[in-house]
Amino acid sequence: MRTDTTFKRAFNDMIDLLRTFDPGAELPSENALRAQLGVSRTTVRKVLASMSARGVIVSEAHGRIMREHPQQIERYPKEETLAISQQVETSFMEWMLRDNACPGTEINEAELARKFGVATTIVREFLNRFQKYGLIEKRQNAGWVFKGFTANFALELFEIREMFEMRSARLFASLPDSSPIWKQVRAMRAAHLELLADIDARFQDFSELDSRFHRLIATVAPNRFVESFQDVIAIVFHYHYQWNKRDERTRNEVAIREHLALIEALESRNIASIDQACRAHLTSARETLLRSIA
Amino acid sequence: MRTDTTFKRAFNDMIDLLRTFDPGAELPSENALRAQLGVSRTTVRKVLASMSARGVIVSEAHGRIMREHPQQIERYPKEETLAISQQVETSFMEWMLRDNACPGTEINEAELARKFGVATTIVREFLNRFQKYGLIEKRQNAGWVFKGFTANFALELFEIREMFEMRSARLFASLPDSSPIWKQVRAMRAAHLELLADIDARFQDFSELDSRFHRLIATVAPNRFVESFQDVIAIVFHYHYQWNKRDERTRNEVAIREHLALIEALESRNIASIDQACRAHLTSARETLLRSIA
DNA sequence: CGTATGTTTCTTATGTATAAAAAACGAGGG
DNA sequence: CCCTCGTTTTTTATACATAAGAAACATACG
């Protein structure tokens, strides 16, 4: 049966939300909370009931009042707030990347389901979605084959990435000053400089910034297929580097500097510089990935 | 419970296979048949048993003998040889393209399952796989949204297609004479000329030839993401034009001539001609699609 | 011993069940 | 009438069940 991860996530979020109110304050309506927590009213009511039961809030004639800041209420642990399908993604990635599964390995739905402790339906659904990442292949009336997280995979991935990214980057040259994207570019530069200043402590934050940076570049010429491909890149980098920490700090610092160079090139509107900076970064990222695979 | 479409398909194939034997001939071993029919031995045995029951073949001490050509045995109808998941694809495409679903329409798994007369699991699985075609989008804990088979969709599709196809086509210029692909190119030209000669009768065969032609061009630089994108193109064209027959004959004849021009350009090894022919064809294909959508 | 068939076991394709979440419906109160 | 809240209905996420199909094992025969 369905897990109540949505409720638990909303419950945790509600704790944070309550911190922004003063003790004794009247809470917003269920509908307002629904919008803020991003869940249905049904779930909001469940959270409210749960909070009431713990005495954090009390129902009055005219609505609900927060009694006190929920200091000692326990949050639900992170794992319990993730839908089973998301947990399966992590489990699978771990199996694939950490256990170093060999190219050509047969993937068995039933076996994975047992190993991960979930229903076969979920594994099946995950594999169907995962297919688009190009790492597995289905065989008629039989299981799947793992094609391997290989150098070849990396090369094919970067071949497409280069096509897509060069196309977007070049478009910046002809973007008018008035385009709102320049503001975002400046903000992006600031975020990079900030991270760079504190690189020793925060180098792990780079992965997410990286993804945001490349997605921003892609937005100049919106295309659903390009966006979908960004998901492929994001998931590969996210999980691969999560379990592959060699030279992480250096690697990220280099990438940040390359990003900054590209930002400068974009702002210069000079096609040649843009080309050069973009290609330099992609080449470097590709080599880094290849080195970590070999 | 699982349907026996695999058996029915194998049964039909077996009828064709038996036609190639003489009456009284001894049949190949179960294992040999398995390889020829492309199914498991379990299914082969089921087919053999079924054929025996109908008296077409008899078991002897030393194997099986075909008694007579299976003239009056009835084949299973085509629909019964398609897995439910494939039928759902057709049903969904029909709903989307023929019923002209509006952009923004909410897709309801349960409702579709009822409408198509299948289990919700299947619909869910289909939608997950179908997501990669860029026509639907999932919303957290809710259904899906149909983004519409719109002009925008066509434009984004062709933008990627042009990038991919120009890349491949250009590579032909530097391909050595010795490459085995030239032979395939010549065969492809022959197939086109043949179809052109008989265009009035066979113009419906173009769709499949078209797909093969573009896939052939892509094989010069194999890339799983490009290949996967060919599936997108193939499915879109296959279904869209299946229910959109306006000017079909003319449309296909034009495309064949464009293909022939491109083949000639490829063989010339002249980058400029290749570029020109390739772009001309893609532009024309795009305009045709756009016209049929509007 | 290698190949062909009979038998058993395991996996996949598909249907059904159900708790959780979302959405729709309804009734009061400003 | 619009908003808020209580209630009912519908849908989704997940588990489980089972026939069809694949694969592994076993036996027999040349």
* A131-152 pLDDT tens trace: 999 999 999 999 999 999 999 9
Angle between helices A151-171 and B151-171 (to 10 degrees): 120
Q: Do residues B138 and B236 lie in contact, with contact meaning Cβ atoms separated by under 8 Å?
A: no
Q: Do residues B37 and B17 lie in contact, with contact meaning Cβ atoms separated by under 8 Å?
A: yes
What is the reported pLDDT for B245? Answer: 84
Dihedral over Cα of B133, B139, B144, B146: its sign: negative
Q: Does B225 touch chain A (CB under 8 A)?
A: yes
Query: Higher pLDDT residue, A95 or B60?
Result: A95
Residue ranges of chain A that CATH labels 1.20.120.530: 151-293
Residues 33-52 of A with CB under 7 A from strand C: 39-43, 46
Mark residue A148 as left, alpha or beta (left: phi above 0; alpha: psi -120 to 50; beta: remaining).
left
What is the reported pLDDT for B259? Answer: 98
Residues 98-157 of B with CB under 7 A from strand D: 108-111, 120-121, 124, 140-144
Query: Which residues pair with residue A60 across a beta bridge?
Result: A63
pLDDT above 70 as % of chain A: 100
Question: In 3D, which of A173, A257, A272, A283 has the Cα closest to residue A221?
Answer: A173
CA gap B97, B245 in Å, rounded = 13
Query: Higher pLDDT residue, B98 or A108?
Result: A108
pLDDT at position B73 over 90: no
Nearest residue in chain A measured CA to CA from B157: A225
DSSP SS3 for B146 = strand
Dihedral angle of Cα B157, B158, B162, B168, to the nearest 10 degrees: 50
Question: In 3D, which of A160, A111, A143 has the Cα closest to residue A286?
Answer: A160
Kindly indicate the confidence band of residue B1, based on its pLDDT and cuts at 50, 70 and 90: confident
Structure tokens that stand for B67 in this block: 């008694």
H or E element at residue B182? helix B181-197
Q: Does A141 touch chain B (CB under 8 A)?
A: yes
Q: Distance, angstroms, CA A31 to C1' D3?
A: 10
Dihedral angle of Cα B202, B206, B208, B212, to the nearest 10 degrees: 130
Q: How far is CA A157 from CA B60, B94, B224, in A?
A: 57, 34, 9
Phi, psi of A65 (to 5 degrees): -125, 140
Give A132's contacts in chain B (Cβ within 8 Å).
131-132, 228
What is the reported pLDDT for B115? Answer: 96
Residue ranges of chain B that CATH labels 1.10.10.10: 5-78, 84-146
CA gap B274, B261 in Å, rounded = 9
Question: In 3D, which of B172, B261, B186 has the Cα closest to residue B219?
Answer: B172
A223–B121: do the CB atoms touch at under 8 Å? Answer: no
* Strand C closer than 7 A to residue B110 Cβ: no
Q: Does B229 touch chain A (CB under 8 A)?
A: yes
A6–B141: do the CB atoms touch at under 8 Å? Answer: yes
B225–A128: do the CB atoms touch at under 8 Å? Answer: no
Residue ranges of chain A that CATH labels 1.10.10.10: 5-78, 83-146
Residues B81-88 have a mean pLDDT of: 97
Mean pLDDT of chain A: 94
Kindly indicate the confidence band of residue B41, based on its pLDDT and cuts at 50, 70 and 90: very high
**B222 CA: distance to closest CA in chain A (Å):** 8
What would the CATH number be for the domain defined by B151-293? 1.20.120.530
Kindly indicate the confidence band of residue A189, based on its pLDDT and cuts at 50, 70 and 90: very high
Q: Does A138 touch chain B (CB under 8 A)?
A: no
Kindly indicate the confidence band of residue B25, based on its pLDDT and cuts at 50, 70 and 90: confident
Q: Which residues contact A12 (CB under 8 A, 6 or more apart)?
A: A75, A76, A81
pLDDT for B112-142, tens place per residue? 999 999 999 999 999 999 999 999 999 999 9
Angle between helices A206-218 and A224-242 (to 10 degrees): 170
Residues A158-170 have a mean pLDDT of: 97
* Strand D closer than 7 A to residue A85 Cβ: yes
Residues 222-281 of B with CB under 7 A from strand D: none
B239, burial (CB in 10 Å: exposed 0-12, middle 13-18, buried 19+): buried
Q: Distance, angstroms, CA B25 to C1' C3?
A: 20
Angle between helices B109-116 and B120-130 (to 10 degrees): 110
Selecting from 3.90.650.10, 3.40.50.2300, 1.10.10.10, 3.40.640.10, what CATH number does the domain A5-78 have?
1.10.10.10
Residue at the smallest CA–C1' distance to nucleotide C22? A40
pLDDT at position B36 over 80: yes
Mean pLDDT of chain B: 94
DSSP assignment, residue A31? H
Closest partner residue to A125 (CB to CB) among B125, B147, B153 is B125
A125–B129: do the CB atoms touch at under 8 Å? Answer: no
Its CATH class, for the domain covering B84-146, is mainly alpha
pLDDT at position A4 over 80: yes
Instruction: Transcribe A69-103 into DSSP letters.
Output: ---SPPPPPGGGGS-HHHHHHHHHHIIIIITTPPT
pLDDT for A15-24, tens place per residue? 999 999 988 8
Sequence length of chain B is: 294
CA gap A263, A186 in Å, rounded = 8
B163–A167: do the CB atoms touch at under 8 Å? Answer: yes
B47, burial (CB in 10 Å: exposed 0-12, middle 13-18, buried 19+): buried
Q: Fold for A83-146, please state it.
A: Arc Repressor Mutant, subunit A (1.10.10)
Question: Other CB atoms closer than 10 Å to residue B60's CB: what's the count?
Answer: 9
Structure tokens that stand for B224 in this block: 């799983």
What is the reported pLDDT for A196? Answer: 93
pLDDT at position B210 over 90: yes
| Strand C nucleotides where any atom sits below 7 Å of a protein CB | 3-8, 10-24
The amino acid sitting at B159 is E
